[in-house]
């Protein structure tokens, strides 16, 4: 009987224990009731779908301290600092259930920041004594001790946080319990507010916000930029990266993903790295009231992580595109993508037979760094000769078939952890002028993959792709008119040196100076410089533009939200491969587009 009881206690302790090294943790922010109302902190901790709760926010510091947890706490000390007895009890309840509770500092609104490192270090002392293992006359959570602190700094004032984090680490190292530090950067890299902190301090978790940004999962998803940071830049090589998502369609202006299959495939693609930690949701009130396919969104996230992380590829370089596929051989590191079609078997020069592929070809790529869109429905047949990098280069000598293009198809290129360039898609750049016409296109492409990079930041890799294609237009009667053209594009990997490079830089080159895309980029930049943003009186959620002073502006709930670009970058419009982009980019490039 005693043996059984001890075994039960062991199993219970194991079940309740928090595993910081896990790839299937779900972190939720709590306190702001962004859905309009929220349950108690303890109620969310009682769910098996939550592992970390980040209570938000400590919105004013260093002096005075200001806390806000919506309606969850209203009592205060005589000086106005909140005194939250129920939250204190809930923190202990959460910790008793094996959950970690972090206190988040900052937020989108508030008054916070430091004028010097010494001021930040002094505040670290105050933070430790007020919320963690120290002691103070006024403790908002009484004797409850949080498990660490989260830096959700969003005011583009990075000074002092490295010094503060290092001072907190000194306290943590001498404590009897585990403490954690986390940061919540925007997905564009480096983040203007916490970029310096992440690159120079030991941070345990990065809750990367892939929403309200141009680098959302469904846009120019740049997970591999963050993976490169984790593996090659972060002082903590074991830092855990979390895929930050909105908990519902009302939680953010853009970035919410209702299609669970997209999240499932994304997790399968990015969770191969040991730096993957799980999913972060903004916020608990949204993720637990939003139901998708019969379960809460938070529960669906936990289910996806529990089912798919273990089956993810163990490859060091993550995949970006999604769904099952067939690759040329075990030694090949590149393949092509086409969203819909059925292809006949083809034989590789090595003698390996290509089996029939339906629905998708895989993209074992590392990141999406560009996307050009083709609208309309087209049929296509092509002969492709592709040099695949591997231990033995192989050439696909014949591959023909027909396919239907979707309303938008992306051309992407990527960089693996070894800085190898992968061309992941063949895109037919032309589209019919009439949606009623479905012309046929025949094209031939020779895609050469090369890499000249090494582990040093001073070198970079370029990919030069030459297409010979037939551009198709449609007359009013629907009869296709074919015009042949040749063009070459040079694309760049996700990461490039932060300094102004030489003339051999792999920064994306613009389209021809007389092209419509280049002229449109110039027009947009003139519009931005005049302070006209999108040129309209209203904006649509997720729309991106630039302010006159170089900030990136993203429409959120019908209003513009401005974010300072990182050092050395500014916001402007630019073009590449007949596509116009608006984002933060290197400042020295702007002169080519004005």
Task: Give the count of beta carbons closer than 10 Å to the beta carbon of residue 495.
Answer: 23
3-class secondary structure, 409: coil
Give the distance from CA 247 to its chain's centroid.
Answer: 15
Task: Using alpha carbons, list the distances in angstroms from residue 60 to 55, 106, 110, 159.
Answer: 14, 7, 6, 16
Residue 357 gets the label, from left (phi > 0), alpha (psi -120 to 50) or beta, of beta
CA atoms within 13 A on the CB side of 377: 8
Please answer whether residues 301 and 281 qualify as being in contact, where contact means their C-beta atoms are separated by less than 8 angstroms: yes
| Cα–Cα distance for residue pair 154/194, rounded to 1 Å | 8
- List, in sequence order, the alpha helices (H) in 281-432: 284-287, 297-308
| Cα–Cα distance for residue pair 145/148, rounded to 1 Å | 9
85 as an active site residue: the answer is no
User: Which of 121, 122, 154, 291 is labelled catalytic?
Assistant: 154
Task: Using alpha carbons, list the distances in angstroms from residue 580 to 372, 518, 542.
Answer: 9, 8, 16
Residue 294 gets the label, from left (phi > 0), alpha (psi -120 to 50) or beta, of left
Q: What share of the chain is helix, strand, coil (3-state, %, to 5)?
A: 20, 25, 50
| Cα–Cα distance for residue pair 112/58, rounded to 1 Å | 9
Q: What is the 3-state secondary structure (H, E, C) of 135-171?
A: CCCCCCCCCCCCCEEEEEECCCCCCCHHHHHHHHHHH
Token reading at 119: 């001021």
Query: DSSP class of residue 259?
Result: -
Helix (H) or strand (E) holding 118: helix 117-131
Torsion, Cα of 176, 177, 178, 181 (10° steps): -90
Concatenate the DSSP letters of all residues of 448-471 into one string: -------SSTT----EEEEEEEEE
Please answer whether residues 236 and 245 qualify as being in contact, where contact means their C-beta atoms are separated by less than 8 angstroms: no
Integer-rounded Cα Rg, in Å, for the chain is: 26
Question: Does a cis peptide bond (omega within 30 degrees of 0) precede residue 190?
Answer: yes
Give CB contacts under 8 A, 24+ apart, made by 514-520: 515/575, 515/578, 516/578, 517/575, 517/578, 517/579, 517/580, 518/575, 518/593, 520/573, 520/575, 520/580
What residues are labeled active site? 154
């Amino acid at each position: 009987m005693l043996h059984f009881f001890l075994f039960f206690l062991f199993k219970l302790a194991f079940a309740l224990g928090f595993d910081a090294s896990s790839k299937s943790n779900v972190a939720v922010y709590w306190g702001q009731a962004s859905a309009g109302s929220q349950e108690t902190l303890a109620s969310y901790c009682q769910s098996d779908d939550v592992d970390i709760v980040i209570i938000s926010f400590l919105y004013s510091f260093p002096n005075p301290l200001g806390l806000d947890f919506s309606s969850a706490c209203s009592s205060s000390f005589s000086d106005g600092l909140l005194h939250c007895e129920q939250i204190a009890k809930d923190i202990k309840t959460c910790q008793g259930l094996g959950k970690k509770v972090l206190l988040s500092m900052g937020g989108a609104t508030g008054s916070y920041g430091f004028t010097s490192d010494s001021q930040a270090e002094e505040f670290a002392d105050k933070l430790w004594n007020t919320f963690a293992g120290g002691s103070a006359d006024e403790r908002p959570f009484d004797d409850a001790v949080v498990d660490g602190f989260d830096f959700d700094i969003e005011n583009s004032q990075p000074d002092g946080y490295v010094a503060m984090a290092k001072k907190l680490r000194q306290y943590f190292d001498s404590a009897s319990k585990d403490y954690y530090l986390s940061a919540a950067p925007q997905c564009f890299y480096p983040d203007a507010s916490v970029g310096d902190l992440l690159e120079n301090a030991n941070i345990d978790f990065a809750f990367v916000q892939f929403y309200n940004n141009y680098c959302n999962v469904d846009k120019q998803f740049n997970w591999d930029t963050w993976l490169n940071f984790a593996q090659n830049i972060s002082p903590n090589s074991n830092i855990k990266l979390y895929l930050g998502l909105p908990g519902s369609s009302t939680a953010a202006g853009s970035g919410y993903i209702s299609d669970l299959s997209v999240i499932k495939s994304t997790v399968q693609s990015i969770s191969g790295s040991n730096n993957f930690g799980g999913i972060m949701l903004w916020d608990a009130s949204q993720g637990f009231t939003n139901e998708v396919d019969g379960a809460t969104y938070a529960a669906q996230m936990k289910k996806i992580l529990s089912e798919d992380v273990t089956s993810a590829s163990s490859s060091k370089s993550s995949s970006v595109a999604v769904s099952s596929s067939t690759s040329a051989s075990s030694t090949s590191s590149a393949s092509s993508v086409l969203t819909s079609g059925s292809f006949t078997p083809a034989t590789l020069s090595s003698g390996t037979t290509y089996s029939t592929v339906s629905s998708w070809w895989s993209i074992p790529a590392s990141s999406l760094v560009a996307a050009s869109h083709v609208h309309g429905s087209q049929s296509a047949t092509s002969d492709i000769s592709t040099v695949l990098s591997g231990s033995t280069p192989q050439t696909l000598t014949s591959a023909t078939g027909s396919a239907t293009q979707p309303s938008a198809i992306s051309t992407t290129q990527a960089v693996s952890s070894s800085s190898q360039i992968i061309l992941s898609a063949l895109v037919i750049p032309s589209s019919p002028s009439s949606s009623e016409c479905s012309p046929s296109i025949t094209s031939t492409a020779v895609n050469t993959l090369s890499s000249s990079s090494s582990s040093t930041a001073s070198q970079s890799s370029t990919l030069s792709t030459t297409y010979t294609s037939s551009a198709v237009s449609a007359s009013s009667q629907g009869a296709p008119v074919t015009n042949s053209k040749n063009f070459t594009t040079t694309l760049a990997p996700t990461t490039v040196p932060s300094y102004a490079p030489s003339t051999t830089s792999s920064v994306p080159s613009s389209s021809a100076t007389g092209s419509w895309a280049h002229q449109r980029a110039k027009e947009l930049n003139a519009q931005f410089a005049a302070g006209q943003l999108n040129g309209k009186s209203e904006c649509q959620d997720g729309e991106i533009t630039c302010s006159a002073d170089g900030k990136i502006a993203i429409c959120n709930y019908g209003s513009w939200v401005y974010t300072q670009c990182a050092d050395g970058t500014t916001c402007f419009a630019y073009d590449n491969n007949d596509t116009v982009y608006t984002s933060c980019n290197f400042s020295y490039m702007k002169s080519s587009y004005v």
